[in-house]
Amino acid sequence: MLLLPLCLLADIVEIQGNVSGVYTADTILVTDNVTVPAGSTFEVAAGTKFLFDGFYYIRVDGCMKAIGNLEAPVVFTPTDTLGFADTLEMRGAWHGLRFIGNSTGPASVFVHCRFQYAKALDADSLLGYGGVVLANGQSLAVFEHCVFAHNRAWHRGGAVALLNGAGFVFRNCEFRENMTYNPNAGYGGALFAENADPVIDQCSFISNLAVWTGGGACFYYSNPLIHNNIFTGNYGYIGGGMAFYNCRPQRTICNNLVYGNTGLYFGGGISCNNACDPVFVNNTICHNQATYGGGFYCNDSAAPTIYNTLIYHNINFSGLGPVYIWDPLSHPNFHYCNIQGGMSAFAGSGGGAGYWGNYTDNYDEIPEFNPNSPYLYFPAGSSLIDRGTPAADTTGLNLPQTDLAGSPRVYNGRVDVGAYEWWNVGIPSHTMPLLRVSATAATDRASMVLTTDAPAGRYLLRLIDMQGRVLMQKYIMTEPQGGDIHLQCQPLRSSRYVLTLAGNGKAGSCSFLVQ
C-alpha cells in the first residue's frame, strides 16, 4: 500500500491504496485501486488530469473534492483506450468512482470535471452498474458543470447508477454517448436510479443508448427531481428519452425538452410502467419516434398526471397515436395539454373506449413556434401562450421559478404550455437543433444512401435494427455543399431500421424500410 503525504506538488504523482490530503500535481497516475478513507478528504486542484493505468477505481468512503473551472477542468481518463469498444473486455477503460455504504460526512464535490472512457464490467454483478459513478447507500455528492462522455455499463447506468438512498445532485451537466449493453437488463443509457433521490437540474442527455429501457435515464422506485433538462438523440427499446418504473415521486418532472429520441418498441419520448404515477409539468415532447407511442407510453397500471405539456409531431411506426396505453388498468391524466389528435388518438387497450383517466381543458392545435427565437420550440401565437394552468391554480405543481430558458415561469397570469414561457428575456440557447435525416437501401446491395441537411463537419452515425442491435456505428464527414452520402454497410434483410446522426451540437434520426 502506498501512503502519500498531506500535500504534494509535482508534475506527475502516482497513487494507489489509501489517499487523503491536497494534491496540486498536473497529472495523477492511478496505478491500482484507490480508497479515500472515512473521515478524510482527498482534494485536487483545477486542471488536474487523472490517468488510470489499468482497470482501477476510486472508492470514496470519506470526501473527495475535484473543483476545476471552464479553462482548467479536472479530467478522469484511462492512459490508453485500446480495447474500450470490446464489451467483454476491461481493457481501455477505468472502473469509475465508487460510493459504497451509508455516509454521514460532508458531501463530495465535483465541478467542471470530465469523465470519459469508464466501464462497469465485473464478475460481481453490482459492479456492472454505473460506468463512472456507482453509489449504493445513503451518501451525497454534487456534480456541477461536468461532462460524462463515452462511458459504458453492462447492466445499469452507462455513466451513473444510484441505489438505496443515494441523494446525488447533478446541475448543468452533460451526458453524451454513454451506453448500457446487456440485452436483458440494460437500463439507463446515461443514468439509472433505484430507491434513490437524485436531483437532475439543467442537464443535457444527448445520444445515449440503453439496450433495453431508458435511453437517456431510467428510474425505479425513486423520487427524482427532474427540472429544466434536455433529452435528445437518445435510444432505448422502451422509453427513448426517459423511463419510469414503480415510481411514485413526491417531486415533479418539470420544464424538460424531450425531442428527437427513439423508442424501438414503446415510448419514443417517455414511458411510465408498473404502477408508477409521477407528475409531469410543462414539458415539451416533440419529434420523438417509436413503434407504439412515439410521444408517451403507459403500461401495467401506470397513472401519471401530465399538466401544461405539448405532445406533438411525434412519429409512430405502427401508424397509431402519439400516446399509447397498453392496458385498461393504466390511466394517465391530462390537464391543459396540447396533444396531437386529442383523446381520440390514444391507442392501445387503455385508449379509445378503454380510456378512463381525467382529461380536462386539453386541446389539439398545431403548435406555433417563433422562428427568430434562439430556443427550439419557443412558443408563438395562441397555440401555446396562456393556454396552461391559471396562475391561481398552480399550488401543488411545485413549479420552478424559471422556465427552461431561465425566464420567469409564470407571465401574464397564466402558465404557457410547454417547457418555455413567452417572455422577452432569456439566456443563450443550450438546445440541440434537429437535423433532417433520411436514408434508403435495398436488400441486394451492401450500401445505403443518406440524405441530410447537416452542416459540414464530423458526425456519429448509428444504424440500428428492430431488435436493437447496432449494425453500424461510425463517424462520417459531411460536405459544405450537402448532397447524398453513400455508405458501405452489410447487406440488409427486408425490415425496418433506425438511423441516428449526432454531432456539432445537432441531432436527428429517421426510420426507413428496406424491401
Q: How far is CA 11 from CA 8, 36, 193, in A?
A: 10, 22, 38
Higher pLDDT, 142 or 408: 142
Higher pLDDT, 266 or 507: 266
pLDDT (0 to 100) of residue 128: 84
Query: What does the pLDDT average to over 126-143?
Result: 92
Residue 141 reports pLDDT greater than 90: yes
Residue 5's pLDDT band, with cuts at 50, 70 and 90, is very low
Residue 381 reports pLDDT greater than 60: yes
Query: Minimum mean pLDDT among 178-192, 232-246, 498-512: which range?
Result: 498-512
CA distance 249 to 258: 20
21-50 confidence digits (pLDDT tens): 999 999 999 999 999 999 999 999 999 999
pLDDT (0 to 100) of residue 501: 77
| Structural domains in the chain, sorted by start | 1-217 (no CATH), 223-434 (no CATH), 437-514 (2.60.40.3080)
pLDDT (0 to 100) of residue 4: 43
Q: In a 10 Å sphere around its CB, with 0-12 CB exposed, 13-18 middle and 19+ buried, how is residue 12 labelled?
A: exposed
Residue 115 reports pLDDT greater than 50: yes
Residue 453 reports pLDDT greater than 60: yes
Query: What does the pLDDT average to over 450-459?
Result: 78
Question: Per the structure block, which three cell numbers stand in for 448?
Answer: 445505403
DSSP collapsed to 3 states, 87-155: CCCCCCCECCEEEECCCCCCCEEEECEEEECEEECCCCHHHHECCCEEEECCCCEEEECCEEECCEECC
Residue 513 reports pLDDT greater than 60: yes
Residue 61 reports pLDDT greater than 90: yes
79-113 confidence digits (pLDDT tens): 999 988 887 788 899 999 999 999 888 999 999 99
Residue 431 reports pLDDT greater than 50: no
CA distance 201 to 412: 25
Query: What does the pLDDT average to over 201-213?
Result: 95
Query: What does the pLDDT average to over 165-173?
Result: 96
| pTM exceeds cut of 0.75 | yes
Q: What whole-number percentage of the chain has pLDDT above 90?
A: 67
pLDDT (0 to 100) of residue 476: 83
306-349 confidence digits (pLDDT tens): 999 999 999 999 889 999 999 999 999 999 999 999 999 999 99
Residue 446's pLDDT band, with cuts at 50, 70 and 90, is low
Query: Minimum mean pLDDT among 289-303, 424-438, 458-472: which range?
Result: 424-438
CA distance 232 to 287: 10
213-265 confidence digits (pLDDT tens): 999 999 999 999 999 999 999 999 999 999 999 999 999 999 999 999 999 99
Higher pLDDT, 479 or 8: 479
What is 67-79 written as a DSSP string? E--SSS-EEEEES
The mean pLDDT of the chain is 89
Query: What does the pLDDT average to over 289-299?
Result: 96
